[in-house]
Structure 1
Amino acid sequence: MSSSPGQHEARRAALTISAARLAVFHTYLSFAAFLSALFIGCALHYKKIVKNGVAGYPQEWFPSVSATIGDWYPERNIFQILIALNSGPRFAILLLQYYLQRTASSALPNLLLGVGIVRTLSCGGWVFITSSDDHDWHDILMITYIVCNLPWMYGSISATKDATIRERRKLVANMFFFAIVPMVYFFIQHKVYRIPGAYTRYSFFEWSLIVLDIFYDSITRYEFEAADLQITIGTPGDDKSGHQPIAHEIKEIAPSDDVISSFVQPTSSENSSNVPPNITGTMKFKLPVHSQSLSHGFAFLCDVYLSYLNWSIFTSLTITLFYFSVWELGVAGSEASLLSTLSPIFLGFSIFRDIASSRAGRTILHVLSLTSPLAYLLRSPLHRLLAVSFANIAMCIGWTVEWSATPAAIGYQAIVTGLGLLLSSLSKHANHSNNPIWPIIDERSGGYNKIGIALALVAIYNVYSRKSNPSLDHELLSFTDKKDVAPPSPTPVRTNWLKDGFALGSFIFTLHCFVTDPSTIISWSWTGYPLRGPLPHLHGSLTHVAQAVGLLIPTFASHRLLSSPIFFGYGAISAAGMYLYKDWLGYFAGWNFALFLMSVIPTVLSSAAMNRHIGKTYCLAFLTAALYDVANTFTVAYAFVPGGEVFRERTNYVLAAQMLGIAMVFRWPILNTSAPPISLTRRVTTYTRNMIAVLSVVSLLVTIYRWPVEAPAPYRPGPRIVRAGIWTVHFGIDNEGRDSQRRMRDLIKDMELDVIGLLETDLHRVVYGNRDLTRVMLEDIGFHVDLGPGPNQHTWGAVLLSKFPIINSTHHLLPSPHGELAPAIHAVLDMYGTPVHVVVAHNGQEETPLDRELQAKELARIMSSVYPEPVIFLGYVVTKPHAARPAPYDIMVNDGRVHDIDKDDWDRWCEYIFYRGLYRTAYARVSRSTITDTELQIGQFILPKHGTTVTNESTEAQYLRAWKEEMPAGHWFPQEYYPEVGGVRGHFYHVFNTPLYYKLPEGAVVS
Structure 2
Amino acid sequence: MASAKTVPKPFSVKATTVATVHTYLANTAFLTALALGCLLHYKRIVKNEVAGYPDEWFPSVSATIGDWYPERNIFQILIALTAGPRFAVVFLQYYLARTKNSKLAVVVLISGLVRTVSCGGWVYITSSDDHDVHDFFMVTYIVCNIPWMFGGLACTPSDNHTARRRRQLVSGAFFGSLVPLVYFFIQHKVHRIPGAYTRYAFCEWSLIFCDIAYDSIAEIDFRRAELEVALGVSLRSTATDEILAQAPAMPETPTEAQAIVEDNAEADNQPARQDVSHSWASTLAIIVPRPLVAFLSDAYLAYVFWSIYTSLVPTLFYFSIWELAIAGSEIALLSCLSPVILGIPGALPWAASRDGQTTLRALSLVGLAVYVVNSPLGRLFGVAFANICLFVGQAAEWTGTGEKSVEYSAILTGLGLIISSVTKLANHTNNPIWPFVNENSGGYNKTGIVLACLALYEAHTRPRLQEEPTSSNAKQAKRTRLPASREFGPSGTWLTAAVAGGSLVYSLHTFLSESSTLIAWLWTGYPITGPVPHLHGAMTIIAQCFGLLIPLALKGSGIGVDVLLHPVWFAYGTASAYTLYSYKNWVGYFGGLNLAIYLMSVIPPVLLELARASRGREGKTFFSAFVVVCMLDLASVWTVAYAFVPGGAYLRERTDLVLIAQMSGLALIARWPNGQGASSLLNTPLHAKRYASAVLAICSVLSVIATLYRLPTEPPRPYRPASRIIRAGIWTVHFGIDNAGRDSQRGMRHLIHDMELDIVGLLETDLHRIVYGNRDLTRVIAEQEGYYVDIGPGPNQHTWGCVLLSKFPIVNSTHHLLPSPEGELAPAIEAIIDVWGTLVTAVVAHNGQEETPLDRELQATELARIMSASYPRPVIFLGYVVTKPHAARPSPYEIMVQDGQVHDIDQEDEDRWCEYIFYRGLYRTSYSRLSRGSITDTELQVGQFVVPRIGSGPINDTVEARYLRSFKEDLPTDHWFPMEYYGDEAGGGVNGHFYHVFYTPLYYKIPEGSEV
Q: Work out whether the TM-score is over 0.5.
A: yes
Aligned to 1:785: 789
Secondary structure of the residue aligned to 2:812 is: strand
Aligned to 1:882: 886
Per the normalisation by structure 2, the TM-score is: 0.69
Q: Give yes or no for contact 1:563–1:674 (8 Å, CA) kept in 2.
A: no
Aligned to 1:396: 391
Aligned to 1:140: none
Instruction: Give the drift of 1:843.
Output: 0.2
Q: Give yes or no for contact 2:567–2:670 (8 Å, CA) kept in 1.
A: yes
Quick one: distance in 2 between partners of 1:545 and 1:666? 25
Q: Does 1:569 align with 2:571?
A: yes
- Counterpart of 2:354, as a letter, is R
Quick one: distance in 1 between partners of 2:551 and 2:363? 32
- Counterpart of 2:853, as a letter, is P
Secondary structure of the residue aligned to 1:444 is: coil
Instruction: Give the drift of 1:685.
Output: 1.4
Aligned to 1:507: 504
Q: Does 1:304 align with 2:292?
A: no
Q: Does 1:893 align with 2:890?
A: no
Percent of pairs identical after alignment?
Answer: 58
Instruction: Give the drift of 1:338.
Output: 0.6
Quick one: distance in 1 between partners of 2:284 and 2:955? 87
Secondary structure of the residue aligned to 1:727 is: strand
Instruction: Give the drift of 1:358.
Output: 1.4
Task: Tell me whether 872-881 or 671-680 shows the greater mean CA deviation.
Answer: 671-680
Q: Give yes or no for contact 1:519–1:536 (8 Å, CA) kept in 2.
A: yes
Secondary structure of the residue aligned to 1:939 is: strand
Q: Does 1:550 align with 2:554?
A: no
2:734 to 730, 734, 738: 730
- Counterpart of 2:1002, as a letter, is L
Q: Give yes or no for contact 2:904–2:919 (8 Å, CA) kept in 1.
A: yes
- Counterpart of 1:443, as a letter, is E
Quick one: distance in 2 between partners of 1:650 and 1:670? 37
Aligned to 1:986: 992
Secondary structure of the residue aligned to 2:988 is: coil
Aligned to 1:327: 322
Aligned to 1:37: none
Secondary structure of the residue aligned to 2:811 is: strand
Aligned to 2:263: none
Quick one: distance in 2 between partners of 1:830 and 1:288? 64
Quick one: distance in 1 between partners of 2:685 and 2:321? 48
Q: Give yes or no for contact 2:469–2:686 (8 Å, CA) kept in 1.
A: no
Deviations 1:523-555 (A, max 9, x none): 011000000011111111111100010011111
Quick one: distance in 1 between partners of 2:598 and 2:709? 29
Aligned to 1:654: 658
**Gap regions ≥5 residues in structure 1:** 1-286, 469-475
Instruction: Give the drift of 1:674.
Output: 12
**Judging changes above 3 Å, is the alpha-carbon distance between structure 1 residues 393 and 751 closer, same or farther for their aligned structure 2 residues?**
same
Aligned to 1:626: 630
Q: Give yes or no for contact 1:320–1:440 (8 Å, CA) kept in 2.
A: yes
Q: Give yes or no for contact 2:467–2:685 (8 Å, CA) kept in 1.
A: no
Quick one: distance in 2 between partners of 1:672 and 1:882? 75
Q: Give yes or no for contact 1:665–1:673 (8 Å, CA) kept in 2.
A: no
1:524 to 499, 518, 521: 521
Aligned to 1:606: 608
Q: Give yes or no for contact 2:318–2:741 (8 Å, CA) kept in 1.
A: yes
Instruction: Give the drift of 1:813.
Output: 0.1
Quick one: distance in 2 between partners of 1:664 and 1:749? 52
Aligned to 2:947: 943
Aligned to 1:338: 333
Quick one: distance in 2 between partners of 1:374 and 1:310? 14
Instruction: Give the drift of 1:672.
Output: 12
Q: Does 1:313 align with 2:308?
A: yes
Per the normalisation by structure 1, the TM-score is: 0.69
Deviations 1:884-943 (A, max 9, x none): 000000000000000000000000000000000000000000001010000000000000
Instruction: Give the drift of 1:702.
Output: 0.5
Aligned to 2:148: none
Q: Give yes or no for contact 1:635–1:794 (8 Å, CA) kept in 2.
A: yes
Aligned to 2:28: none
Instruction: Give the drift of 1:349.
Output: 1.6
Secondary structure of the residue aligned to 1:556 is: helix
Q: Does 1:492 align with 2:485?
A: yes
**Judging changes above 3 Å, is the alpha-carbon distance between structure 1 residues 671 and 808 closer, same or farther for their aligned structure 2 residues?**
farther
Aligned to 2:80: none
Aligned to 2:1002: 996
Q: Give yes or no for contact 2:552–2:682 (8 Å, CA) kept in 1.
A: no
Secondary structure of the residue aligned to 2:726 is: strand
2:419 to 407, 419, 423: 423
Secondary structure of the residue aligned to 1:829 is: strand
- Counterpart of 2:794, as a letter, is G
- Counterpart of 1:562, as a letter, is L
Instruction: Give the drift of 1:861.
Output: 0.2
Q: Does 1:457 align with 2:463?
A: no
**Judging changes above 3 Å, is the alpha-carbon distance between structure 1 residues 681 and 759 closer, same or farther for their aligned structure 2 residues?**
same
2:921 to 917, 941, 960: 917
**Judging changes above 3 Å, is the alpha-carbon distance between structure 1 residues 485 and 530 closer, same or farther for their aligned structure 2 residues?**
farther
Instruction: Give the drift of 1:561.
Output: 3.0
**Judging changes above 3 Å, is the alpha-carbon distance between structure 1 residues 569 and 967 closer, same or farther for their aligned structure 2 residues?**
same
Q: Give yes or no for contact 2:564–2:605 (8 Å, CA) kept in 1.
A: yes
Aligned to 1:588: 590
- Counterpart of 2:682, as a letter, is I
Aligned to 1:681: 685
Q: Does 1:973 align with 2:970?
A: no
- Counterpart of 1:582, as a letter, is K
Aligned to 2:370: 375
Instruction: Give the drift of 1:355.
Output: 1.4
Deviations 1:577-619 (A, max 9, x none): 0000000111111011011111111011001010221111111
Q: Does 1:929 align with 2:933?
A: yes
Aligned to 1:953: 957
Instruction: Give the drift of 1:671.
Output: 14
Instruction: Give the drift of 1:353.
Output: 1.2
Aligned to 1:168: none
Q: CA RMSD in A?
A: 2.0
Q: Give yes or no for contact 1:724–1:939 (8 Å, CA) kept in 2.
A: yes
2:599 to 563, 586, 597: 597
Q: Give yes or no for contact 2:469–2:476 (8 Å, CA) kept in 1.
A: no
Aligned to 1:807: 811
Quick one: distance in 1 between partners of 2:676 and 2:333? 31
Q: Give yes or no for contact 2:562–2:673 (8 Å, CA) kept in 1.
A: no
Secondary structure of the residue aligned to 2:897 is: helix
Aligned to 2:204: none
Quick one: distance in 2 between partners of 1:909 and 1:675? 66
- Counterpart of 2:531, as a letter, is P
Aligned to 2:430: 434
- Counterpart of 2:461, as a letter, is S
Instruction: Give the drift of 1:290.
Output: 5.6
Secondary structure of the residue aligned to 2:762 is: strand
Quick one: distance in 2 between partners of 1:639 and 1:729? 20
Quick one: distance in 2 between partners of 1:292 and 1:719? 63
Quick one: distance in 1 between partners of 2:378 and 2:529? 45
Q: Give yes or no for contact 1:666–1:674 (8 Å, CA) kept in 2.
A: no
Secondary structure of the residue aligned to 2:640 is: helix
Secondary structure of the residue aligned to 1:857 is: helix
Quick one: distance in 1 between partners of 2:514 and 2:387? 20
**Judging changes above 3 Å, is the alpha-carbon distance between structure 1 residues 481 and 589 closer, same or farther for their aligned structure 2 residues?**
closer
Aligned to 1:364: 359
Q: Give yes or no for contact 1:741–1:776 (8 Å, CA) kept in 2.
A: yes
Secondary structure of the residue aligned to 2:926 is: strand
Deviations 1:236-263 (A, max 9, x none): xxxxxxxxxxxxxxxxxxxxxxxxxxxx
Quick one: distance in 2 between partners of 1:831 and 1:693? 44
Aligned to 1:152: none
Instruction: Give the drift of 1:481.
Output: 6.7
Secondary structure of the residue aligned to 2:896 is: helix
Deviations 1:615-672 (A, max 9, x none): 1111111111111111000100110111111110110010000000011222158999
Aligned to 1:716: 720
- Counterpart of 1:987, as a letter, is H
